[in-house]
Chain A
Amino acid sequence: MKSVLIIDDEAGVTRFYRKLLESEKYEVLISNDAAEGTLSMVKSRNIDLILLDINMPEVDGAYMLEIIKEYNPQIKVIIFSVRTIKEQREYIPYANDYFDKSQSVEILLEKIAKLLKDDCVDSMR
């Protein structure tokens, strides 16, 4: 079972994404706070993919991405925010993919599935 970590300070957002991903048989972890807690979660759990919000109180999404990639470059990260994908890409250029929260959740599921599938192919090689 693949595990997905959602980093977002908005409880309303994490609630239905957890439900969505769990119904698609992913293991879901939520972090809505600071960098330290999130990083320890990344270190202690075997996480395959992270959904990362940009605007958060303690740590900015861009900085968080840096920390995560430094620790484990293999973890796939999808930036997700209410900003448009173009804006997100301009702000954080090095993520694996981007998702606009106002888009359909099906698109997110596709993006997650695709990244994790690539991951499988990579590891098989």
Chain B
Amino acid sequence: MKLHSIKFKISVAYTIVLGFLLIAFSVFLYYSLYNSLIEEMDGELKEKSQQIQSFINSFCVNYYMDSESQNEALSKAAELTINIDRLHENMPDNTNIKEEWLKLFDHLDLSEDLIYIYNLDNKEAIYTHSVDSEAGNLFSKNVEHKLSNKQYFTKIKIANEVYRAIQEPFYFKGKMALVIQIATSQKSAIALLDQRKNVLFIGIPVVVLLAVIIGSMLANQMIMPIINVANSAEQISYKDFSQRVRVKYKDEETNILVKAFNTMLDRLEKSFKHIGEFNAQVAHELKTPIAIIGGECEVALRKQQSEEEYRDAFKAIFKESQKMLKITEDLLLLAKLDYSPEIFTFEEFDLKIFIEEMFVKVEKLASGRSINLNLVLPERDARLKGDAVHLERLFLNIINNAIKFTPKGGNISMDVGVKDRNLMVKIKDTGIGISKEDLSKIFNQFFQVITPETQQADGNGLGLSIAQSIAKIHFGKIEAQSDIRSGTVFTVLLPIVLPTAKQFELKTAAV
């Protein structure tokens, strides 16, 4: 598995997330178990404390009935409870109390616990169990604590063993008389927790390891279709774009990928074909002038000729080189129109004035061929944002085209108006018209309508193609309608307000 593969990344991410979740869950589990154990122990301690208190209370009350003072009763109680064994030995008349205590002791299962009860007056222990009575109270060595009038739980450590302890004051006749301290070992709880901890310590790595193995297998299965698609796509060489990725999968995502690949291949095939055809066309268009230049040179060099003949040869060569120059310039412009929109500088100007100025230039050209030129301008402004240099090229190409195909004495009219949200310029001629078949091709590169009337006219079949590209850069278009013998109408539509930047991006992406 490679470090940068999606498979590896998925597995790693998945393992980290799973491991993290498992650890978090385990920590939560561990602490909630710990808390519940402590709570349980506290409950038991509380119960024990209550039972002991009620035992002492009942004894003191009984004794108090006979005794004269409370103090006496308490000291008697102290004497009575100071040591169960001593109680048993020295107080034979109180056997029933001792038995009752022992019964309670068994009932509360106190044998494993530490118990310390002391008198608040003289700070002397009145009862201890499993604790050295001289050592002081249970808490003194372990935790800082203040004697409060409430129950108090804490964790203490005696002889390396951890205990859960309760401290509770005993009230007799409204006075705080004794302090009861009971501690239970946490050994069994810790053992239980340790056991759980060990299960988790071994369990988590095992689960994570299993998850990694299963996860990478699943990732492999998920990634497989992508690899298959890639392999399939790789087999399609640049020479054979007719092939398509033929992987069929149930999952939608892979099918989207396959579809995207095939759509891209469709476009690639189309554009490669177009480039191939275009190159052939370019080569063919350039081959004729090159052949003429070569032929002229060869013929001129073969035999001694008159100066006039050499001059003619040079003229012919120059004419062909000019043709070639025009073709290459137009091709460069077309390439720029398609791929370098940055050559355009969009500025706001009045199309009315712009057309008027251009009209003066073309009028001379038209009158030279005895063609009448008419101009119809709107009363209102026709402001537009566009590249004036290239728009002039657009209109000149169309007008030159109209002049070329209009016989002597014909008419060409230009009509500037507004249609919907576009400025509309109609260029109408009374020329020879274009057949329906040719009309669909006139914007194609290198397409030329060749008729006996126009065969001597200059042109390379790129003019209208360039005009259409310029219109598209302005988000506009050129439409052509024609009728054989009655003439042709070219309609140039240019939007008054350019689309926003976002729409612009969408549009260029779609192109």
Contact = CB atoms under 8 A, between A and B. Distances in A.
B292 A10 contact: yes
Nearest to B312: A15
Interface string B301-344: 01100000100110010011000000000000000000000000
A10 B291 CA distance: 12
Given A12-B316, A12-B319, A33-B455, A104 B284 contact: no
Interface residues of A, number: 23
A3 interface: no
Contact of B292 (A9, A16, A23, A34): A16
A63 to B, nearest CB: 15
A88 B287 CA distance: 15
B298 A82 contact: no
A6 to B, nearest CB: 12
A82 B303 CA distance: 25
Nearest to B309: A19
A12 B292 contact: yes
A75 interface: no
Most buried by A among B295, B309, B455: B295
Contacts of A9: 450, 455
A10 B290 CA distance: 13
Given A16-B292, A17-B295, A33-B452, A23 B316 contact: no
A57 B312 CA distance: 26
Given A57-B450, A57-B452, A13 B303 contact: no
A104 B316 contact: no
B456 A11 contact: yes
A34 B456 CA distance: 14
A29 interface: no
Interface string A18-45: 0110010000000011100000000000
B291 A105 contact: no
Given A57-B452, A58-B452, A82-B287, A105 B292 contact: no
Interface residues of B, number: 25
Given A33-B452, A57-B455, A104 B291 contact: no
B299 interface: yes
Given A23-B303, A82-B287, A16 B455 contact: no
Interface string B276-297: 0000000010011111101110
Given A33-B455, A57-B452, A82 B284 contact: yes
A16 B303 contact: no
Most buried by B among A12, A34, A83: A12
Given A12-B319, A16-B299, A23-B303, A101 B455 contact: no
Nearest to A12: B292
Interface string A68-102: 00000000000000110000000000000000011
B451 interface: yes
B299 A19 contact: yes
Contacts of A32: 455
Contacts of A33: 452, 455
A20 B455 contact: no
Contact of B299 (A12, A34, A101, A105): A105
A61 to B, nearest CB: 14
Contact of A102 (B291, B303, B313, B455): B291
Nearest to B448: A57
A19 B456 CA distance: 20
27 contacts: A9-B455, A10-B292, A11-B456, A12-B289, A12-B316, A12-B319, A13-B288, A15-B296, A15-B312, A16-B292, A16-B295, A16-B313, A17-B295, A20-B299, A20-B302, A33-B452, A57-B450, A57-B451, A57-B452, A82-B287, A83-B284, A101-B287, A102-B287, A102-B294, A104-B298, A105-B299, A106-B298
